[in-house]
Structure 1
């Protein structure tokens, strides 16, 4: 990654002594406490000093908001807004919560400081380049459709009274779910993309996925003929297999303990050469260490415990050798890490001005592992939100009569126990 343009700003006394903060001019002095939530399974606040700093920063940010903005941006942990993120341009108010454009300069700065508490320097740099540089470039193409001000913030639970809380940054090419549950911190699912992924905006050059691209090419070029034949897929589809919902209002179809067993294909880590193994580790770390180091280390330990069950798949344009300026796809499956990278092809208004390789989508998830109580995507929230109902939100939405999920992006057939619902593979992409 390029050197970060916005280093972590020191948290002000307002963040550390939030109880005595003066609200911004656009705030009121009325009570901003969120209505009591009855979500079961929440835990007490953590004594971890890093998490406590995160919590205080979020409380201070919430206290800086007007009653109207706080109410608009806040909801309970069991609200389906957690799962309604998608990949369409964030115009026409098609996101819940509050937007960057709703915030004063000081409030927006405070929120970006919170992002930097959860993300590594490289992780924050990617979010910055996506939401401000690439989106700024697009804004110059069609300002009513793409705008950095359109990125939205949803806040879940109340960090002032509970140790279980979270927030979501949601917009066109950036969706990250930040969750705290006691001593556990998570940032998945994380959808990061860019169109363009490489360019210059306002005099500042960016190459959002340089490491995800270049480290993967190094891995590809280190594979021998046998390894390459095992890793290479003949699929004609380059689409993300478990990416974002395509349409506004559709919930994430892959939450909870979605069945990843059909993806145990490709080149297995245990069958790679030592060189290829080392190169795969570097690619995997690029996705995990978007998160701040101490919590990424915890995540990484689970990944390494299961490293021999890691699979790597590559799809390349037929008859071509992959380069930094060609189209390709790869995915990594480990019981504790799912990572996909795809060059999407230029779309719509940009089809004549952006090269096909220069539109990139990535997704990072944690597949459900039955040996842990922490769940997969959305952490423990995926199982605790429903109380005594279905174990996961995936099951909830698939079974409930009041939700209709007509198209899942599976490349194999999925069957729910005791139900006759099956869903075929379907692709529909926007932006």
Structure 2
């Protein structure tokens, strides 16, 4: 992807309609947003990718600006709220992963279960976990954010796992992951000596609208199957 502040593109697939199936994408360096509408009734809004370099502006008139700082702060608040045994379980390794594990793969399946689950947290800690989820969902329009939160709740909050890799001090290299039955959040800040952040929200059942389109094709066309 060319790194140019003017090279951000909006692509429309199909014809926008309140009744038909279509989609659109917004993409450029450190931004990748995907939306799919099926028969005007359903919407898929993932994957959602944001990044920033620097993660924190350290000099100049905008010194102190942190574009995605809310994501890091919310996760660190949970990490610091864990007791020693919980934190030992949550921290899967002392060296941060070098980038988000799922990269830009089209198909994403649940990663190996690691870290500490919400079932092993206190109610207060669980609230902090859900605060992280809310930070990510709130970057979408209100109706999409509400749909994401409802889906997470329905699948079972107690099944959500939180994992951290790397240093715990602010400004140091770190990675964290939040995985539930239906979704995956990855946040990585390791490049540029821990000052270059990548983050993504993936949906196991709806990235790029794949399952919605498959259901549409199967119902609209006898024997129809949307290929992988």
TM-score range, shorter chain: 0.7 to 0.9
Farther off after superposition, 146-155 or 180-189: 180-189
Q: How does 1:141-290 map to 2 (within 5 A)?
A: 146-160=3-17, 162-181=19-38, 182-199=40-57, 203-204=61-62, 206-234=65-93, 236=95, 237-244=97-104, 253-255=105-107, 258-260=108-110, 262-290=111-139
Q: Distance in 2 between matches of 1:208 and 1:358?
A: 11
Matched, 1:344 2:190: yes
Q: List 4+ stretches of structure 1 deviating above 4 A.
A: 200-205, 384-392
Question: How far 1:264 sits from its partner (Å)?
Answer: 2.4
Contact 1:263/1:333 (<8 A) preserved: no
Matched, 1:367 2:201: no
Question: How far 1:197 sits from its partner (Å)?
Answer: 2.1
SS in 1 for 2:57: strand
Question: How far 1:238 sits from its partner (Å)?
Answer: 3.4
Q: Distance in 2 between matches of 1:203 and 1:235?
A: 34
Matched, 1:378 2:208: yes
Contact 2:117/2:158 (<8 A) preserved: yes
Contact 1:335/1:366 (<8 A) preserved: no
Contact 1:178/1:187 (<8 A) preserved: yes
Farther off after superposition, 192-201 or 293-302: 192-201
Deviations 1:363-390 (A, max 9, x none): 111123xxxxxxx212334535876576
Contact 1:334/1:367 (<8 A) preserved: no
SS in 1 for 2:148: helix
Question: How far 1:324 sits from its partner (Å)?
Answer: 2.2
RMSD of aligned Cα (Å): 2.5
Structure 1, unpaired ranges of 5+: 1-88, 91-145, 245-252, 347-355, 369-375, 394-431
When normalised by structure 2's length, the TM-score is 0.85
When normalised by structure 1's length, the TM-score is 0.47
Contact 2:165/2:174 (<8 A) preserved: yes
| Larger RCO (CA within 8 A; separation ≥ 6) | 2
Please identify the structure whose Cα radius of gyration is greater: 1
Contact 1:197/1:358 (<8 A) preserved: yes
User: Which residue is equivalent to 1:128?
Assistant: none
Aligned residues: 219
Question: How far 1:254 sits from its partner (Å)?
Answer: 3.7
Q: Given the alignment, which residue of 333, 351, 368 partners 2:179?
A: 333
CA 1:293–1:201 in structure 2 vs 1: closer, same or farther (change >3 Å)? farther
